[in-house]
Amino acid sequence: MTHQNHYNLPESVTETLMQQGLGALPEMIKVMINNAVLEERSRYLQAEEYERTGERTGYANGYKPKTVKTRVGEITFAIPQVREGGFYPSALEKGLRSERALTMTLAEMYIMGVSTRKVKAITEQLCGIEISAEQVSRATAQLDRVLQEWRERPLGEITYLYLDARYEKVRENSQIRDAAVLVATGITPWGERQVLGVSVSLSEHETHWKAFLQALKDRGLHGMKLVISDDHTGLGAARRAVFGGVAWQRCQFHLQQNAGSYVPRQSMRYEVAADIRSMFNAP
């Protein structure tokens, strides 16, 4: 079953997640393009794999791996072959040409859940043809499985835990409203940055943050030397309740932003910001 929230997120949120290490994206891209090229072969042969039909124009002949460098790393796709030769799917090249748009849409699915409407639109764009509800369901089920495994994966040891919330205008049931996008990012002991979890709620109330942090802890998050966040009341209370024994540091970026709001003139803000950064970086 698809996990679906009725929000449309702004592009800035998914762009941020991509930059911070959304590890499910390579597998999601692989699922979408593998399904698209398989559909292309079926149309070329006028038959599904193992289907008996008098309209068949040839026979499938397995797959060949093809590794491609993308914006989210190297991905190995399964390129379907035909026995007689002469077939090469166009969906792979189309997907790479529109890679950013494809990746942004899949990143949004990570947060909001898999949308059959978007799966259908992406696949038809890659194939250049209309696809059946059965084929959409197959791709949707595969994406659901990838995302469920990613959302529920064990987290393990994280040295530094960054917590943040961004208020964004989102569309919910045809209405525009504010929503808090809660994001947890971790730095591993070997220096890798990972998105640990994302949740969309209508506020930063303590109950929302506490449920979000408890879910991270239940997945095995441990070993933090420091939690970094802003000084929001609800977040602070939830952090102390779930990770009370871990040292906390106020986020320098948010502190600088808050300080900037007290600067009386716009022309002074750059100078004040530079002074604050010099204090942060002082030995």
pLDDT, one tens digit per residue, over 28-47 is 888 888 888 888 888 888 77
- Do 142 and 57 share a structural domain? yes
pTM above 0.85, yes or no: no
Same domain flag for 124 and 41: yes
Where b means 16+ CB within 10 Å and e means fewer, 158-194 reads: bebbbbbbeebebeeeeeeeebbbbbbbbbeeeeeeb
Summarize pLDDT for 201-213 with one digit per residue, the tens: 766 788 899 999 9
Number of domains in the chain: 2
Domain that holds residue 123: 7-151
Which residues, 6 or more positions from 42, have their beta carbon under 8 angstroms from its beta carbon?
Answer: 48, 49
59 and 189 in a single domain? The answer is no
Is position 269 within any domain?
no
In a domain, 69, yes or no: yes
> Is the same domain home to 210 and 227?
yes
- 241, part of any domain: yes
Asked if residue 276 is part of any domain, the answer here is: no
Residues 171 and 123 in one domain: no
**Are 198 and 236 members of one domain?**
yes
pLDDT of residue 18: 60
Residues 138 and 235 both lie in one domain: no
Percent of the chain exceeding pLDDT 90 equals 22
Q: Do 141 and 234 belong to one domain?
A: no
* Co-location of 57 and 165 in the same domain: no
